[in-house]
Amino acid sequence: MADRLLLEDVRFYARHGLTKAEQVVGAWFSVDVELALDLTPAMVSDQVGATVDYGAVARRVVEVGTKNRVNLIERLAGLMVEALLADFPATSVRVRVRKLTPPLEGLVGTPSVELVRSR
């Protein structure tokens, strides 16, 4: 299926990470989500009930991202993929998690992971 619902740059603050600084200071995270699903019903009806409410997707991402602390962004992305597949009628989900402000000395760049899972 070629239809995709995209939600980019959902942000939240959390204390995920291995180091004490990451666990105490925390960091801002940014998440992109892609849900593969048939958007024809919404295209035809122009009704939100015929599609996935991207506000609900954003709320679920933030809920998962702020609920329990994890060590790795791989684990965080995995929890998000699992929740999105369980809660929404997508045939596949792509999640990209970026740690925007990691308190790590000498780090240049933005660490991120991307997971894709299908039913």
Could you give the CA distance from residue 33 to residue 38 in angstroms, rounded to a whole number? 16
CB-based contacts of 81, cutoff 8 Å, min separation 6 = 93, 95, 115, 117
CATH fold label, 4-118: GTP Cyclohydrolase I, domain 2 (3.30.1130)
**Edge-to-edge, what's the strand order for the sheet holding 4-14?**
4-14, 27-36, 92-99, 112-118
Please indicate whether residue 20 is annotated as part of the active site: no
User: pLDDT at residue 107 above 90?
Assistant: no
Q: Is the pLDDT assigned to residue 21 strictly greater than 90?
A: no
The pLDDT tens digits for 68-101 are 999 999 999 999 999 999 999 999 999 999 999 8
- What mean pLDDT do residues 7-13 have? 98
- pTM score, two decimals? 0.93
How far, CA to CA in Å, does 82 sit from each of 52, 104, 106, 110, 115? 16, 29, 33, 24, 11
Helix (H) or strand (E) holding 56: helix 54-67
Tokens linked to 112: 């991120």
For the segment 27-58, what is each residue's pLDDT rounded down to a tens digit?
999 999 999 999 999 999 999 999 999 999 99
Catalytic residue among 17, 99, 108, 114: 99
